Amino acid sequence: MCSIIGYYGKKNAAPIIVKGLKRMEYRGYDSVGVATESNNQIELKKGIGKVNEVNSKIQLDSLPGKIGIGHTRWATHGKVTDFNAHPHPSNSGKIAIVHNGIIENFEELKKQLQDEGYNFKSETDSEIIANLIQKYYELTGDVKETILKTVSEIKGHYAFVAMFENGQLAAARFHEPLIIGVGQDDFFLSSDVLGFIEYTDNAIYLENGNFVILEENKFQILDYNGEHVKYGITKISKEFGDAYKGDYAHFTLKEIYEQHETILKAGEKTQEAIEKTADYIKHAKNIYVTGSGTSYNAALIAKQIFSKYAKIKAEPIMASELQFSPDSIEENSIIIAVSQSGESADVLDAVKIGKQANCKIIAIVNLLTSSLAREADIVIGMNCGPEIGVAATKSFTSQLVILYKIVQKLSDNTITINFEKFAETILKILENPKKIQEIAKQMKEISDIYVLGRGINYPIAKEAALKLKELTYIHAEGIPGGELKHGPLALMDSNVFVIIINPNDSTYLDTLTSAREIKARGAKIIGVSDIESDVYDYWIEMPKIDQVLYPISEIIPIQFLSYYAALEKDTDPDYPRNLAKSVTVK
């Protein structure tokens, strides 16, 4: 997934575009580029690397002109090269485009255009948009007709912005996010409100299959039949703008430290939605919980706590897999879709399948203006503020708190949870990561690490392994304790580290036995527990708390461990290689 941006106004476009791209960098950071229009000429600069790196090398923000477009790339088609970086000029150089998404029929269209004499400098699917637009603009001389013809030919999920040498901008969206920012006397086009939130909080969310043309200081929004469409301006909460690191070295560290507050704020503004959700679930035949990545691990926890505390069966579904067994969803069921960004393509696809089966969609989401929030019947806001670090941290614990709040309602409050008291306990964990830093030093050279947990601690073991993968690039695997002897024990020797998630609950003794069996093979053991044991080479002491809340607390030291191990391994904790904050392509 990439970030795209456009500016049309009276100020110098390039510095505004570079700032917007910097804010959206979590969407993709393989390469960056800017193009502006100045005196009916298109000026373009692009390069490999992150925004600040490339800008300091080739001064992207010095391009002249009051109109421009920009892009940060998360490579899908073609290697990370200058040629594959966006913006892509058309053959004539009179049009330039930036694109997010995937053009599924690009090879066919490329062949057609090559047969018509067009040539291509990149391996990307995106470049065909530039030449298609040139073809139809030369044919019609009209931007509206040009876009209508172009979108009638391209297939896939996309959003693009095209800039013409006469300064007109045109942008279209089909399943990929695109938002118009309406300023005092200027306009913005962006994949995310973060792209322009510094300048205006007036946003228009372009609907699917709509496009916008900006010219002569005004804009018009049309659908793919060329009809004008009505639109509304949404006021964005400025809170989403305060994505600053403050004194923290990285967003990821800041977001780990924010959890004693975000745990209290989770679902706070949508309490009513939580009650309504519990009511829906009480009357539903089937409940499914779906998500991707960390959000899927939250779905696995949902299964455990729904059955344990509310005696309700909730089936977790990996969003990306549902398309291969759509009939596994029973009609008229409830689907709880969990997603920080609300833009993960696999989750939106799963929701589409659910809607086709007439299911009610309940979204647990952080971005209340996201596509998922707009698709859902009920929206529960995670309310944890912007999460910039690509590896999800505070969003995970907020998702779990909301799931617990739903279970509390479902259990007619037979389980009582004092979140205020719990937040104080979290503060204790956050206060002193020194010991964890020491352990992270021992992990500098290792290449394999396993995380073991039983029962409700197994999904946490999976989430722990995901954090280690995302932040340290170490091969990490979450293992259900009971499966150890059925295979993974073969991997245990003195070269591996094993993290044992072992709180004082019903799994404690069995997990300790597993730890002994692993120790016997020479592996190093990191014990995460509120009880010390001589089995552990390293003990990460957990505070004694109500065991109901173990899953939420025990992931936090692992977030720290992954962060500090990332520093030891000199990886970038905020922007891990090859990843993106939410993946809007399938």
Residues belonging to the active site? 2, 581
Among 154, 299, 300, 347, binds ligand BG6 (CB under 6 A): 347
Q: Which stretch binds ligand BG6 (CB under 6 A): 27-35, 72-80, 502-510, 575-583?
A: 575-583
DSSP, res 576: -
Among 46, 583, 584, 585, binds ligand BG6 (CB under 6 A): 583
The distance of closest approach from Cβ of residue 345 to ligand BG6 in the complex, given in angstroms and rounded to an integer, is 9
Question: How big is the site for ligand BG6, counted in residues (CB under 6 A)?
Answer: 17
334 closest CA partner among 301, 366, 299, 305: 299
d(CA 156, CA 126): 11
Q: Which amino acid is at 380?
A: I
Among 574, 580, 584, 585, binds ligand BG6 (CB under 6 A): 580
Q: Which stretch binds ligand BG6 (CB under 6 A): 103-111, 221-229, 390-398, 403-411?
A: 390-398
Contacts (CB under 6 A) with ligand BG6, residues 277-296: 292-295
Would you count residue 391 as binding ligand BG6 (CB under 6 A)? yes
The distance of closest approach from Cβ of residue 492 to ligand BG6 in the complex, given in angstroms and rounded to an integer, is 28
Nearer to ligand BG6, 32 or 373 (CB): 373
The distance of closest approach from Cβ of residue 203 to ligand BG6 in the complex, given in angstroms and rounded to an integer, is 19
- 3-state SS string for 192-240: CHHHCCCCCCEEEECCCCEEEEEECCEEEEEECCCCECCCCCEECCHHH
Among 154, 284, 390, 540, binds ligand BG6 (CB under 6 A): 390
Nearer to ligand BG6, 342 or 433 (CB): 342
Strand partners, 173: 159, 210
Q: What are phi and psi of 59, to 5 degrees?
A: 45, 65
d(CA 460, CA 505): 14
Would you count residue 344 as binding ligand BG6 (CB under 6 A)? yes
Nearer to ligand BG6, 204 or 299 (CB): 299
Is 49 buried (19+), middle (13-18) or exposed (0-12) by CB count in 10 A?
A: middle
Q: What is the DSSP string of 111-130?
A: HHHHHTT---SSS-STHHHH
Nearer to ligand BG6, 386 or 527 (CB): 386
Would you count residue 72 as binding ligand BG6 (CB under 6 A)? no
DSSP, res 543: P
Contacts (CB under 6 A) with ligand BG6, residues 302-341: 339-341
Contact predicate 194/23, CB 8 Å = yes
Would you count residue 426 as binding ligand BG6 (CB under 6 A)? no
Nearer to ligand BG6, 133 or 390 (CB): 390
Would you count residue 502 as binding ligand BG6 (CB under 6 A)? no
Phi-psi region of 162 (alpha: psi -120 to 50; beta: other; left: phi over 0): beta
d(CA 319, CA 335): 11
Would you count residue 392 as binding ligand BG6 (CB under 6 A)? yes
DSSP, res 382: -
Nearer to ligand BG6, 171 or 351 (CB): 351
Would you count residue 582 as binding ligand BG6 (CB under 6 A)? yes
Nearer to ligand BG6, 398 or 514 (CB): 398
Would you count residue 383 as binding ligand BG6 (CB under 6 A)? no
Residues 6 or more apart from 438 whose CB is under 8 A from it? none
The distance of closest approach from Cβ of residue 208 to ligand BG6 in the complex, given in angstroms and rounded to an integer, is 19
DSSP, res 570: T
The distance of closest approach from Cβ of residue 344 to ligand BG6 in the complex, given in angstroms and rounded to an integer, is 3
The distance of closest approach from Cβ of residue 464 to ligand BG6 in the complex, given in angstroms and rounded to an integer, is 13
d(CA 145, CA 403): 49
Largest Cα–Cα distance in the chain? 78
The distance of closest approach from Cβ of residue 465 to ligand BG6 in the complex, given in angstroms and rounded to an integer, is 13
The distance of closest approach from Cβ of residue 337 to ligand BG6 in the complex, given in angstroms and rounded to an integer, is 9
473 closest CA partner among 567, 537, 389: 567
Would you count residue 385 as binding ligand BG6 (CB under 6 A)? no
- List the structure tokens of 362: 């309940």
Closest residue to ligand BG6, judged by C-beta, is 293
2 closest CA partner among 80, 63, 60: 80
| Interface contacts to ligand BG6, rule CB under 6 A | 292-295, 339-341, 344, 347, 390-392, 579-583
